[in-house]
Structure 1
Amino acid sequence: MPEATEDLARRGDRAFLAIGIAVALWLVATVIVLPIVMPDGPSQAVTDYLGALRDGDVDAAYDAAGAERHDADAYDTSFLRSEALSTDWRIQSVWTSDDLSPYDAKLTGGIEPEGHETQPGVRVVNAVISHGDATSRGQFYVQETGSRDFILNPFVYADAGATLGFVDLNGVTSPAHRADNGDKLTKKDSFALFPGFYRLYQHNDDLFRADPSTLMVLPGTDVDISTSLSLTDKGNKAAAKAVRAQLDTCEKSTQLAPSDCPFNPLDDGAADSVDAYDHEYRDVKDIKWKVLVAPKFDIEPRDGEGPGDFELVPRNYATIRLTAVGVDIYSDSDKAKRFSTVCPIDPEDLVLTVTASKSFTVSGPAHTYAGRACGRDH
């Protein structure tokens, strides 16, 4: 080999050797400088618990939390099942606080860890989960016992609030609990949920839009499954069709004041007495109804007060004719005669309820009260 070529080879070998030594030194320095962070017991318990839920494994989640299935029996447990879990969310971070925060029964569903204020075995573990760009932060209370750790507040407790007659979370449905007519809600009227990400009413989005449409929950915050609703074009047509079908049923009725119908000719709540302009009739029979002016209305979400999910706002004065036979109480004769009178149709008396089977039901008053006076049939 020529001398110049040998010199180049020796210099190349030295260069490679120098690079190798530098890389080795960098690796050693990295190992020495970078700390090895191992999760502690409480944060590991929470990480395992959230990981099992994200994987849809309810059994593993209960095991990781050291919880039992009956722990939430004081609440509605309809959604404590794998079918109600979603898997498209992430665990961003989990860490244990250095100091215990003051105990708040509201955050643990009323399960007070014994001696929380002074017991050093209870630790607060913070967690952040995310879906897309949205995040949620919460706190878990973890009891250290030496042999294993127990999550004292594995569930989130949610009220249905001013929502529909049913709740739909990730496609699983359950009847909602609402305080209609001033009734007081109890624990059993609230839902126990696993932490995670939920889609609200995803199977009904062709009928109406729910806002917000998602829910991401962790222990440590109050959760209210409340949504504002807006009907889609398809939903509006379906609701209007249900109302028209109900009115058709009402028109065919042979009852004087048929239930779930938006008209009522009863006089002072009497079962067979009609207030018809300047006449009143008793012992009314042979009843026939005929819509004269069909009601026009807008359909709007209810504000959470009273029954139903949607209400009808009238846009015209609608009427229906009553033809029947009865005794005029202002007459000297007790002989029954045929009469007719025109009664107002009050669509605002009707309420619409969305069912879990993606349909609308129409209901109204039972007419145990006096109705609006009917007018002269011109």
Structure 2
Amino acid sequence: MREFRYRRRRAVAGGITLAGVLLAAAFHATHGPPETVTLVRGYYEAIRKHDVRKALKIAKAEPPAGEAARFLAPRALDHWRIGAVTETDGFEYSGDDDAEVTVVLIGEHRKRYEGTVKLVKGRGGVRIAEPLMSLRFQATAMDYVEAGGMRAPYQGDPRTESLSVEYRVLPGLYRFYQGRQDLLRVAAGQTPVLPGANGSSPGWVGVVPEFTVTPAGQRAVSQAYDAVIDRCAETRGVPRAECPFGLTPYGDIKSRDESVSDFGKLTWRVRTYPTITAVVQRGGLWIVDRERGVVELSGSGRIDGSGPRRPFTLTCGTVARRTFASVASGGTVSITGPVKGGEPWDTCRDGALSAS
């Protein structure tokens, strides 16, 4: 008798469970998924198909004006699949005018990325609260920005503290700086640009690529640096502060053992170029001396402040002092010196002076 009652309870419990499943299935068959899920899935489906216009229409979003909308383009988007789209906080549960939907995107190597989409209810119905994300490209040795093979010159303002430029984009998975790179090599891979990723919802993603310098890049930086030395050697007098060699603009010319006063007619000639290495540091490409170069200074003056003015030559070294390189989108390398308009660096104090 006891076994019969036990079996009867199991049958009743199983019947209740089955009834619940059938009731839920009937409900979804009749009503379908929540409006929030339908809206978010449709939005991400349009993005997945690279249909930017349709995605913006679904989200009732207006693209920003000007350069900020550059990457609101099909070409900027990468390829991925949509996984689960689930309502995690509906209007009927929250008791107010916002809801929450979780979206899972599946990228390369079946890697899954999860984001949280906020929705609000207003006069026009349900809409996505913040349909667009912000990309902040940090200043690096690459003097351009790139998403999905689309490139644009970096237009950051060096007077700002953030040293970044911002663009508005559709959520999804992106590849940054993955186009052809001859001088710099950037780590490959997809980057999620999703609201609420990693448990937070700042609405923006910072782009700071990890890169290394190729052998061709080292040669290009070295050639660009040599060209700077050549231009500085054309100076008559004291070179600019950003040159890798020079004199103090006041007082006597000091050498290892002697000094020159009342000097004039100063000219420079490159004797040997330095051997330098471009080192990735703090997002920049800094130039470090492996072996310093030598330039020759010629002029006339009074040796040790006495006697008539005589011709002299003085050997001076080159010094890479807070100098860095940047690479434009076309592969052109630019060299920036330490302080434009600052005080020149005296690189002749340890040189050998000879006078005739």
Using structure 1 for the length normalisation, give the TM-score.
0.72
Structure 1 pair 283–62 and aligned structure 2 pair: CA distance change class (3 A): farther
* CA positional deviation for 1:147: 4.9
Structure 1 pair 370–251 and aligned structure 2 pair: CA distance change class (3 A): closer
Distance 2:171 2:253 in 1: 58
* CA positional deviation for 1:340: 1.9
| 1:301-336 alpha-carbon deviations (Å, 9 max, x no partner) | 1313xxxx31122112322111123466x5256x65
Structure 1 pair 250–302 and aligned structure 2 pair: CA distance change class (3 A): same
Q: Is 1:123 matched up with 2:99?
A: yes
| 1:90-114 alpha-carbon deviations (Å, 9 max, x no partner) | 11221111368xxxxxxxxxxxxxx
Structure 1 pair 78–345 and aligned structure 2 pair: CA distance change class (3 A): farther
Q: Is 1:197 matched up with 2:173?
A: yes
8 A Cα contact 2:240 2:344, kept in partner: no
Task: Please give the residue correspondences for 1:1-378 in structure 2 after superposition, counting only pairs within 5 Å.
Answer: 36=29, 38-70=32-64, 77-98=68-89, 120-132=96-108, 133-145=110-122, 147-161=124-138, 163=140, 164-176=142-154, 183-185=160-162, 189-211=165-187, 213-221=189-197, 223-258=205-240, 260-266=242-248, 269-270=249-250, 274-281=253-260, 284-304=263-283, 309-326=284-301, 331=305, 336-365=309-338, 366=340, 368-374=342-348, 375-377=351-353
Distance 2:239 2:252 in 1: 10
| 1:261-317 alpha-carbon deviations (Å, 9 max, x no partner) | 211222xx44x964444555566543322223321122211313xxxx311221123
8 A Cα contact 1:286 1:324, kept in partner: yes
- Percent identical among aligned pairs is 21
Distance 1:273 1:93 in 2: 76
| 1:56-88 alpha-carbon deviations (Å, 9 max, x no partner) | 222211111111224xx7x97244421553252
| Partner secondary structure for residue 202 of structure 1 | coil
Bigger Cα Rg: 1
Q: Which runs of 5+ in 1 are unaligned?
A: 1-29, 101-116
Distance 1:251 1:373 in 2: 14
Distance 2:190 2:245 in 1: 40
Distance 1:172 1:194 in 2: 15
Distance 1:86 1:156 in 2: 13
| Partner secondary structure for residue 256 of structure 1 | coil
Distance 1:79 1:154 in 2: 16
The count of aligned residue pairs is 318
Structure 1 pair 227–80 and aligned structure 2 pair: CA distance change class (3 A): closer
8 A Cα contact 1:162 1:227, kept in partner: no
Distance 1:370 1:207 in 2: 31
Structural RMSD (CA): 3.4
Q: Specify the alignment match of 1:15 in structure 2.
A: none
| Partner secondary structure for residue 97 of structure 1 | strand
Structure 1 pair 218–86 and aligned structure 2 pair: CA distance change class (3 A): same
* CA positional deviation for 1:194: 1.6
Distance 2:224 2:133 in 1: 37
| 1:244-264 alpha-carbon deviations (Å, 9 max, x no partner) | 333333333335214542112
Using structure 2 for the length normalisation, give the TM-score.
0.76
Structure 1 pair 67–264 and aligned structure 2 pair: CA distance change class (3 A): same
Structure 2 residue identity aligned to 1:62: L
Q: Which runs of 5+ in 2 are unaligned?
A: 1-21, 198-203
* CA positional deviation for 1:179: 8.6
Q: Specify the alignment match of 1:16 in structure 2.
A: none
Distance 1:167 1:134 in 2: 25
Structure 1 residue identity aligned to 2:50: G
8 A Cα contact 1:55 1:87, kept in partner: no
* CA positional deviation for 1:213: 4.3
Distance 2:188 2:139 in 1: 13
Distance 2:179 2:219 in 1: 18
